[in-house]
Amino acid sequence: MPSNPKKSKAHPGHVVLREVQPDDLPVLFAFESVPAWCAMAMVKPRTNTKFESVWAKIFEDWDNGLTNVFQKTIVVDNEVCGTIGCRLLGDRHEIGYGLGQAFWGRGIASRALGLLLDQVPMRPLYATAAATNAASIRVLEKHGFVIESRRTSPETERNLPCEEVVMVLNKRQS
Ligand SMILES: CC(C)(COP(=O)(O)OP(=O)(O)OC[C@H]1O[C@@H](n2cnc3c(N)ncnc32)[C@H](O)[C@@H]1OP(=O)(O)O)[C@@H](O)C(=O)NCCC(=O)NCCS
């Protein structure tokens, strides 16, 4: 159920992206620990220790002036509802995002991605999604991403094996 059932896709609420604060981390960890979240993203749940070590490295890199990770907290109507960002992986800038389950289906990810694309000038941008993750693929398509390729993604420490699509946005949208 949406946290506020009166909100709809046309009116998701007031969505903003802001700096990630340490207090956001327990909330974000709780979001991604829900089995339905993991099933949609085709990832395995990770421990809080692992989650915190990943974020400790990101904060340390930011303190050292590194900009490989551009990551924001998504806030809707003053409530933390998820995270979205762009990371340099190899030579590719890759978009990723996730919302707490209570916030799905209100158009928040679509709005958040629009805000992120305004803040991130690099192109091309890439994103990968499990081929079964129709909502994520739709969010990307609405912002001009197109499917560049499909591949079989092997099981890793984090990922479940799956068919995935690689999506690319080549130009800035007008
Ligand atoms: C994927 C996710 C970010 C989508 O967030 P959201 O705020 O619910 O997305 P939006 O409401 O902005 O848009 C979803 C779109 O997908 C569509 N959609 C949802 N489920 C769908 C389905 N099963 N088949 C086809 N389209 C679907 C919606 O209708 C909507 O499109 P529309 O605006 O044209 O109607 C959210 O479900 C999530 O956090 N999932 C867990 C983590 C995850 O999968 N992250 C992405 C990893 S690649």
- 2 pLDDT band, cuts 50/70/90, is very low
Q: How far is the CA of 64 from the centre of ligand 1 (A)?
A: 35
- pLDDT for 133 equals 98
Report pTM: 0.94
For residues 102 and 1, what is the distance between their CA atoms, to the nearest angstrom? 6
Q: Is residue 136 part of a domain?
A: no
Residue 148, domain member (yes or no): no
Q: Is residue 57 part of a domain?
A: yes
In total, how many domains does the chain have?
Answer: 1
Q: Which residues constitute the domain of residue 71?
A: 15-122
The residue to mutate among 104, 128, 137, 143, having the most atoms of ligand 1 within 8 angstroms of its beta carbon, is 104
User: What confidence tens digit (pLDDT) does each residue in 15-73 have?
Assistant: 999 999 999 999 999 999 999 999 999 999 999 999 999 999 999 999 999 999 999 99
- The position carrying tokens 């949609």 is 40
By DSSP bridging, strand 79-89 and strand 92-99 are antiparallel
Q: What is the pLDDT of residue 7?
A: 63
**What is the whole-number distance in angstroms between the Cα of residue 170 and the centre of ligand 1?**
22
In this predicted model, what pLDDT tens digit does every residue of 88-129 receive, in sequence order? 999 999 999 999 999 999 999 999 999 999 999 999 999 999
Residue 39 lies in a domain: yes
Is 141 within a domain?
no
